[in-house]
Amino acid sequence: MGKGQVMGKRQAMAFLDELEAKGIRLGLGRMEKFLAFIGNPEKKFRSVHVAGSKGKGGTAAMIESILRKAGCRTGLYTSPHLVCFNERIRVDGREISDRQLVALVAGLRREMENSGIDLTYFEFVTTLAFRHFADSGVDFAVVETGMGGRLDATNVLLPMVSVITNIEKEHARYLGNTLQKIAVEKAGIIKGGVPVVTAERKKSILGIFKKECAKKKATLQIVKKPFSGKLALQGQFQRWNAALAVAAIEELQGQGIKVGKKAIAEGLASAQWPGRFEIVQQNPAVVLDCCHTPNSALALANAFREIFPGKKAVLVLGASGDKDIRGIIAALYQIAGFAVATEAKTRAMSAGKIKKELEKRGIEAIEMTGVKNAVKKGIKAAGKDGIVLIAGSCFVAGEAMPLWRRRA
């Protein structure tokens, strides 16, 4: 931008796109230096830090909802967004406004240039969230890691409680190619004396968490059964997430944070997390889900059987190019009666490859260019009494969502 030129939303997003194009560089050094340069906004609010492979976004959303019902002013930081970037950063349940976003991008860009510190995309966006939370005077920020934990930009926080959801194989290039290596990276969010809660049940992974907690003199609470009360989010997997959220709240209560039973019940009964077994219409029923790993696809299939017993879906399926499409289809094919293979605009695996893998499992499938076109084809194929299941990628869910909701 030239001198005196005013930044708008389009220019702000273009700048963020430029940062993203430079790629991923894990490490905390740049974040620590830059946050110190701008006055350490991350130290101006209390926090809950959430890591894991699956379920961390839903768990974070439920913790934030409970704290808000308890009367706290809350921040919520998650990624990726589905439709609009503003979704990533919320205060008291409201997305950051375009005006606030543009002002923060412009200001932090200047400060980054003045500091001589070259932040990555995720580092810049995380700093933006921390600054917004500090400026907004939040009491608590619930912060989800972007990738991993140990070297994730969010790991500059010193939270009141650390939360680790289940561990799956993901981002092998950055985190390692075994569950154990990935677990070590996730366990990197464990801080000295800060209590940890987890819903992980694999003994080998729990052993890693226990060892790190002992090293850091941090207590470890292991969630052993799902939440059984009223829940806004559907599916058994969300009940495990809810139980993990309650365990995190219990740790805060143990540190003097006043959260009553009513706030817990109301928070869980009203928490929203779009694109995760979200039923967006009826007649035909249309379900949006962001599953993108075999285990998350299995959880989706189990939730589908729970909510729609004995039914088959018209499956609208897309996936990112680096995902285990065979494993995803292996989890979903038994609930699919027909499938439309498609591809999102970002990082997409070809629809042709997905179609071939579906057909190997005996599922009649067609290719359809464009997620919205694929969804419309799926709705037509389902008829009034059918069920359409849109799955395989957050990018696919994000491109489908505007068919039902307009976003800024």
pLDDT tens digit sequence for 95-124: 999 999 999 999 999 999 999 999 999 999
Q: ω into residue 195 within 30 of 0, thus cis?
A: no
How far apart, in whole angstroms, are the C-alpha atoms of residue 201 and residue 12?
42
Where residue 347 falls among pLDDT bands split at 50, 70, 90? confident
Which residue from 73, 53, 57, 30 is spatially nearest to 271, judged by alpha carbons?
57
Q: Are 102 and 12 in contact (CB under 8 A)?
A: yes
- Of the chain, the end-to-end C-alpha distance in Å amounts to 24
DSSP secondary structure code for residue 350 in this structure:
P
* Spatial CB neighbours of 233, under 8 Å, sequence gap ≥ 6: 58, 62, 241, 242, 271, 272, 273, 276, 277
Q: φ and ψ at 365, to 5 degrees?
A: -145, 155
Give me the chain's average pLDDT, please.
93
| Structural domains of the chain in order of their starting residue, each with its CATH number | 9-270 (3.40.1190.10), 278-403 (3.90.190.20)
pTM across the whole model? 0.89
CA distance 372 to 96: 27
For residue 322, the model assigns a pLDDT of 83
In this predicted model, which residue has the larger pLDDT, 394 or 164? 164
Three-class secondary structure of residue 304 per DSSP: helix
pLDDT of 170 > 70? The answer is: no
Question: Above 60 in pLDDT, residue 162?
Answer: yes
For residue 206, pLDDT over 80 is answered with: yes
Residues 370-406: tens digit of each pLDDT: 999 999 999 999 999 999 999 999 899 999 999 997 5
Residue 259 has pLDDT above 90, yes or no: yes
Residue 178 has pLDDT above 90, yes or no: no
β-partners of residue 50 are 144, 163
Alpha-carbon distance 138 to 73, whole Å? 5
Sign of the torsion formed by the C-alpha atoms of 374, 376, 381 and 382: positive
Q: pLDDT-based confidence at 364, cuts 50/70/90?
A: very high
What 3-state class would DSSP assign to 326? Answer: helix
Q: How far is CA 395 from CA 111, 188, 303, in A?
A: 32, 28, 21
